[in-house]
Structure 1
Amino acid sequence: MKTVQAYKKDNSWIYLTDMQALNNPLVLVFGNRYLLEDTTVIDDIRKEFPYEHLVFGSTSGEIAGENVIENSIAITAIEFEKSSFVIKRDNILSHNKNAVELGKALYEQMPKENLKHLFVLSEGSFVNGSSLIAGLEDNVFKNVCITGGMCGDDARFEKTLASYKENPKEGEVVLIGFYGDTLEITFASVGGWQPFGPERIITKSEGNILYEIDGKPALNLYKKYLGDKAEELPQASLLYPLNVTIPGKEVPVVRTILNIDNDAQSMILAGDAPEESLVQLMMATVDGIADGANKAALYAMHNRKTMPQVALLISCVGRKLVMNQRVEEEIEQVKEMIGDTTTITGFYSYGEMAPFVNSNFCELHNQTMTLTLISE
């Protein structure tokens, strides 16, 4: 495996590796949404990396090496020497915003022979991440796992962009299939947030829209907890996500509030929160988040036969806001576990996708550090 990594900031290209020509690489382009909307920037990317398989995704911050960057374009080109990849794309707007059907259609397109792993890069505005995963896993081979993330737009929540080959646009979901017996791919997802306050019951919800908790309007109850910070919604919700224990599941998931509807007194979450689920507020410290990143790397490295050559890091925008000037500490925690020779790339997201530890079934997470470690 060969990699070339660079980022563009303030109209200058900064290379983190030696420049070299690659043979038919997978090129991951993570960047600020405004920059990805600029056709002159896209033209410059294509000139600097004149390859076929460019995958674009907007972010809430870019990860390149040990660096967490903002208002930039971070590019990692990966040449697979012993294995291969296939990329498919579809648009949620072509499926009447039905993420389950989109997931099914995407997986149907993917060749199945020797499929080792699936990585999904989803737009983060229209897609219900839980439903997308349900569609992808509907007929998935039991030994094929899914990881990935949902694109971001800093803390604006205006719109997100993604694409494969084409210029970035709204509604796109990109699925990358990795193939070959030489591949070793491991993963993990850990948060580091702590629940607080009383445990309540979701009494009315529909998909990822939360209407009532304990029979009371959800948004009104949430605002009471936030106090003065309620004036800063929906951005303030990134600091106080929900801990949701879904009926029939032992391990809770974290749900970020993406938007609010004052008229309906409801909250739009990044994933499903079914009725009868138990729910609590959560909060975090910088040290707790950094420790979560360390544990994620520890779990992802457990029982690996080879050292990872590429690490794909998807971390939540809420973690970035809490850590602020110390945000690179969670990247440092990961690097300590995976070693100095691994190419690290990724972005801050509106949702992370990975199975729980000791499971093959993917879940949508929020407020976690999610790692996908690849070697061949």
Structure 2
Amino acid sequence: MKTIQGKKIKDKEWEFDSDFLNLKDPLVLIFGNRYLLESNTIYKEIRKKFPTGHLVFGSTSGEILSNSVFEDSISITAIEFERSFFDIKTENILDHKKNAKEAGVSLIEKFKKEGLKHLFVISEGSFVNGSDLIEGIESTFNDNTLAITGGLCGDDARFEKTLASYNENPKEGEIVGIGFYGETLEFTYANYGGWTPFGPERVITKSAGNVLWEIDNVPALDIYKKYLGAKAAQLPQAALLYPLSVKSPNAEKAIVRTILNIDEDSNTMILAGDVPEGSIVQLMMATVDNIANGAFKAAELAMKNRKKKPELGLLISCVGRKLVMDQRVEEEIEEVQHVIGKDVTISGFYSYGEMAPFTNNKKCILHNQTMTLTLISE
């Protein structure tokens, strides 16, 4: 595996860690600020640098490159796989009337299933139901033989729109799947939060998919506004600091859900994934140290059963974690690097939702407010 990394800060020139850009048919991961990716020339600009590259774009809430976190930038990680191969397919959720499950089914049906070792997904993030998307992708793999990781694109803390694409200018609604094939490939993955529940346990009494209506028969949005006080005027961004712990009736573990948007007219909240009726919920909060420690634990879990040293680490962390960490945000990347090694190429972004199975399981779950790692070697 060979990698080259580079970045472009707003109003500055491109910088690369190597002058050798002649990689053979590389996978080129391009994560960036939504406004910068809206440029009509960005695809042609990067295509000139990687004429034979497979260019995958995703908008973010912050770019992760090596041990640093950038804003108002575009990051590039180009990867040449020397003993394995990949295939890339796309689907647009707008073609499915925003039905994420249907879009997921359509996406996975485009892949050759024989030998498919891992699927990495970069999805639109502003209105997709991530839980339904995963369910659709997994629907043709009932034996849980396929592991899925990835994330929902971000738009800083604006929640206006997100962009993604493959070999074209970034656009709305796009879902990109990168399928990896090859006996020499090793993938491990993990996720961990670091958030602490507080306040009383409550029950979701009215919901539909990822739309939350009532908790304890009280409008959920009213409960949030009560806790947020003056910060309620900053919803939905302010809710990133107080996500929900959700334990559905049949689940073994609680998951975390954050708010993508609110609807004042219906007094509802739209979350990144399903929030089933009957689930036990609690508000959550976190400290900088707890979040950094969570990243460390995620890295430990991802390294636990590896046979070979990772060469590439794809990190998807949540925008809510970034807001809490603020000026210390790079500490969680440093904690990961401390565990997996400073010579491992690190790329990734801050997202509106993270996809990964729990440890020792291949069934993918949509997470919020976690650090999710996908470690790759060949």
Stretch moving more, 245-254 or 7-16: 7-16
User: CA separation in 2, counterparts of 1:179 and 1:29?
Assistant: 21
Aligned to 2:137: 136
User: CA separation in 2, counterparts of 1:143 and 1:271?
Assistant: 23
Secondary structure of 1:300 counterpart: helix
Stretch moving more, 166-175 or 17-26: 17-26
Stretch moving more, 115-124 or 14-23: 14-23
Does structure 2 retain, via aligned residues, the 8 Å contact 1:92–1:126? no
Please tell me whether residue 3 in structure 1 is matched to residue 8 in structure 2: no
Alignment size in residue pairs: 376
Does structure 1 retain, via aligned residues, the 8 Å contact 2:43–2:168? no
Does structure 2 retain, via aligned residues, the 8 Å contact 1:151–1:161? yes
Aligned to 1:238: 240
Aligned to 1:40: 41
Aligned to 2:167: 165
Secondary structure of 1:39 counterpart: coil
User: CA separation in 2, counterparts of 1:96 and 1:236?
Assistant: 29
Aligned to 1:278: 280
Instruction: Give the alignment partner of residue 215 of structure 2, picking from 213, 237, 240.
Output: 213
Please tell me whether residue 267 in structure 1 is matched to residue 269 in structure 2: yes
Aligned to 1:329: 331
User: CA separation in 2, counterparts of 1:344 and 1:326?
Assistant: 18
User: CA separation in 2, counterparts of 1:142 and 1:238?
Assistant: 31
Amino acid at match of 1:331: I
User: CA separation in 1, counterparts of 2:199 and 2:359?
Assistant: 27
How far the C-alpha of 1:225 sits from its partner, in A, is 1.4
- Residues 17, 307 of structure 1: alpha-carbon distance in 2 compared, 3 angstrom cutoff: farther
Secondary structure of 1:55 counterpart: strand
Aligned to 1:346: 348
Q: Deviations over 1:291-311 (max 9, x none)?
A: 000000000001111111110
User: CA separation in 2, counterparts of 1:177 and 1:95?
Assistant: 22
User: CA separation in 1, counterparts of 2:374 and 2:226?
Assistant: 38
Amino acid at match of 1:30: F
Amino acid at match of 1:13: W
TM-score norm. by structure 2 comes to: 0.98
Amino acid at match of 1:295: K
Q: Percent identity?
A: 68
Q: How does 1:1-376 map to 2 (within 5 A)?
A: 1-9=1-9, 10-17=11-18, 19-140=20-141, 142-376=144-378
User: CA separation in 2, counterparts of 1:41 and 1:360?
Assistant: 36
Does structure 1 retain, via aligned residues, the 8 Å contact 2:43–2:167? no
Amino acid at match of 2:32: G
User: CA separation in 1, counterparts of 2:305 and 2:213?
Assistant: 43
Amino acid at match of 1:247: P
User: CA separation in 2, counterparts of 1:272 and 1:150?
Assistant: 15
Amino acid at match of 1:12: E
Contiguous gaps of at least 5 residues in structure 1: none
How far the C-alpha of 1:41 sits from its partner, in A, is 3.0
User: CA separation in 2, counterparts of 1:264 and 1:124?
Assistant: 22
Amino acid at match of 1:103: G
Stretch moving more, 78-87 or 7-16: 7-16
RMSD: 1.0
Q: Deviations over 1:88-123 (max 9, x none)?
A: 001001111111111111111111111111111100
Amino acid at match of 2:149: T
How far the C-alpha of 1:18 sits from its partner, in A, is 5.2
Secondary structure of 1:348 counterpart: strand
Structure 1 residue runs of 4 or more that deviate by more than 6 Å after TM superposition: none
How far the C-alpha of 1:147 sits from its partner, in A, is 0.3
Secondary structure of 1:363 counterpart: strand
- Residues 65, 193 of structure 1: alpha-carbon distance in 2 compared, 3 angstrom cutoff: same
User: CA separation in 2, counterparts of 1:20 and 1:270?
Assistant: 37
User: CA separation in 2, counterparts of 1:120 and 1:146?
Assistant: 7
Q: Deviations over 1:10-37 (max 9, x none)?
A: 3311223453311111110001101111
User: CA separation in 1, counterparts of 2:222 and 2:344?
Assistant: 46
User: CA separation in 2, counterparts of 1:142 and 1:276?
Assistant: 26
User: CA separation in 1, counterparts of 2:17 and 2:226?
Assistant: 47
User: CA separation in 2, counterparts of 1:199 and 1:126?
Assistant: 27
How far the C-alpha of 1:142 sits from its partner, in A, is 2.3
Secondary structure of 1:109 counterpart: coil
Amino acid at match of 1:364: L
